[in-house]
Amino acid sequence: MATEAKEVLEFKPEIGVSNGGLWGAWAWQEMCPEETYATGFSLKVEAYRGPMDDDTALNGIRLFCTRGGRGDKHEAHTVESQSGPWGQWSPPSWCPEGTYLTRFSLRVEQTRRGLHDDMGATNARFACSGGAHLEGRGLSWGEYGEWSPPCRKGLCGIQTKQDPVRGALRDDTALNDVRFFCCGR
């Protein structure tokens, strides 16, 4: 009985980090299909546009949900919550076979204010259950914060915090923060 109680206390239904950007609102949650969990991810990133343009950097994060077996990558189900309109999706990054995503860290450029171009989140990295670390193909501006608490049974859902499109001559930041939901399998 003591072991069961300990497992309940350690279970975290959602995980996040403390360094997320200031702007935007939380969008909808999207969850992996039943009996699947995230084994890979992809980032939607706007490349640097130059000193006179408005840069947004990280616009979206996709999780690729599989059953974790051989060949499942070709049958992955994609979940992503809300994504910004700028940038391109990177090719998927996958945990080694038989492992899954368990925690993350977010790279965020701190608020610059005034006439400076703010960006919010610029990159993300993930840890796999076997100990491998996967860094996204985002931008290098800003600093990574602390790692999130782990989801022992893997990541099964996502919710993004997006700054809405502000229009011409306004500072867009796109994705500012993200939280993930732990699997209950």
Q: Convert the pLDDT of each residue in 63-92 to its tens digit.
A: 999 998 666 788 899 999 999 988 999 999
The tens digit of pLDDT for each residue in 90-102 reads 999 999 999 999 9
Q: What is the pTM of this model?
A: 0.87
Is the predicted pLDDT of residue 2 greater than 80, yes or no? Answer: no
% of the chain at pLDDT higher than 70:
81
Is residue 56 scored above 90 in pLDDT? no
> For residue 54, what pLDDT band results from cuts at 50, 70 and 90?
low
pLDDT at 59 over 50: yes
Give the residues across from 160 on adjacent strands. Answer: 178
Position 105 pLDDT exceeds 60: yes
Give the DSSP per-residue string, 91-108: PPEEPPTT--EEEEEEEE
Q: Residue 173's pLDDT is what?
A: 78
Integer Cα distance of 140 and 181 in angstroms: 26
**Predicted pLDDT of residue 52:** 59
DSSP letter assigned to residue 29: E
Whether 64 and 41 have beta carbons less than 8 Å apart is answered as yes
With beta carbons less than 8 A apart as the criterion, state whether 105 and 146 touch: yes
- The domain 21-182: what is its CATH number? 2.100.10.20
Burial of 123 (0-12, 13-18, 19+ CB in 10 A): buried
| Closest of 63, 68, 29, 30 to residue 185, by C-alpha | 68
> What are the structure tokens assigned to 105, written together?
């860290």
Q: Please, is 16 exposed, middle or buried when counting C-beta atoms within 10 Å of its C-beta (0-12, 13-18, 19+)? A: middle
pLDDT tens figures, 5-43: 333 334 459 999 999 988 899 999 999 999 999 999 999
**Contact predicate 26/175, CB 8 Å:** no
pLDDT digits 0-9 by tens, 162-178:
998 777 656 677 899 99
User: Is 44's pLDDT higher than 50?
Assistant: yes
Question: Do 132 and 95 contact (CB within 8 A), yes or no?
Answer: yes
- The region, left, alpha or beta by phi > 0 then psi within -120 to 50, assigned to residue 35 is left
